[in-house]
Structure 1
Amino acid sequence: MTDKLILKNMIFYGYHGVYAAEKELGQRIEVDVEMVLPLLSAGANDDLETSINYVEVYTLIKELVEEKDYNLIEALAHAIAETLLSAYSLEAITVRVRKPNPPVGGVMDYFAVEINRRPRSGRPLYTEDDPSGMG
């Protein structure tokens, strides 16, 4: 059984991209995180000390998106994952970062990247060599 804490569709304004206009004008950035961790104690005891404070998570992500700049949303997603893995005892994390209305000269909903990470490894949760994700 897998327990998850999910923060979905957090919306920020950041200056991420390889094009000058993205760096100068900025754009809307959307982020989802799914953190895998045991939540039985938090649910049974109704105690925040046995869970994760959502406000703290939101604040960490907001700082990364709004106070730093990255060329690639892949790098932003990686920074979010590594920050949260360092801050909390997670079994795994999934991070999605979206750029709505990217500057491509065409119409689309968004560009996005999704990464899956485990603690201390920094490697994908699932790989071709290890599809089980068990290492």
Structure 2
Amino acid sequence: MSGKITLSGLRAHGFHGVFDFERREGQDFVVDVVLELDLSKAAATDDVTDTVHYGELAERLIAVLTGEPVNLIETLADRLLTVCLADDRVATAEVTVHKPGAPIPHEFADVSVTLRRGRS
């Protein structure tokens, strides 16, 4: 049974960006993740080891968000996708990185990049 696991609004303070002040002061980043995978075994066994443990996934994603800085949120999204696809049960992953504090000199609600990747 194909299904989706969605983790929305995961927030962490990171130091990503192209400007010195972004690297020095940092800012909040928000991540949404959608994993597509077969959930039939987990549904039948009621055992967390038969699915992607979203709490453990969140910890790994936070480590990337708060880890080594990158210039672009495109690069950050790619690194987060790699984390999501490290579990062989995940057929496809989609990651959206929001940068609500992006240095734009105009009023705006959000800037985000979305990447989607499946297994070859």
Q: TM-score, normalised by structure 2?
A: 0.94
Alpha-carbon RMSD across the aligned residues, in angstroms, is 1.3
Equivalent residue, structure 2, for 1:79: 79
1:2 deviates by: 3.8
Question: 2:50 corresponds to which residue?
Answer: 50
Please give the TM-score of this superposition, normalised by the length of structure 1.
0.84
Offset at 1:118?
1.0
Pick 1 or 2: higher relative contact order, CA cutoff 8 A, min separation 6. 2
Which structure shows the bigger proportion of residues in strand conformation?
A: 2
- Please report how far the alpha carbon of residue 104 of structure 1 lies from its aligned counterpart in structure 2 after TM superposition: 1.1
- Identity among equivalent positions (%) equals 30
1:110 partner SS: coil
Contact 2:38 2:89 in 1 (8 A): no
Is 1:8 the counterpart of 2:11? The answer is: no
**Contact 2:29–2:99 (CA under 8 A) maintained in structure 1:** yes
Q: How does 1:11-90 map to 2 (within 5 A)?
A: 11-90=11-90
> Size of the alignment, in residue pairs?
120
1:113 aligns with 2:113: yes
Q: Structure 1 stretches of 5 or more lacking a match?
A: 122-135
Task: Structure 2 unaligned segments of length 5 or more: list them.
Answer: none
The secondary structure found in structure 2 opposite 1:34 is strand
Question: Displaced runs of 4+ in structure 1, greater than 3 A?
Answer: none
Distance 1:112 1:76 in 2: 11
Hey, what's the Cα distance between the residues in 2 that align with 1:98 and 1:107?
16
- What is the letter of the counterpart of residue 73 of structure 1? I
Conserved 8 A contact 1:101-1:108: no
- Contact residue 14 and residue 29 of structure 2 kept, 8 A: yes
What is residue 103 of structure 1 aligned with on the other side?
A: 103
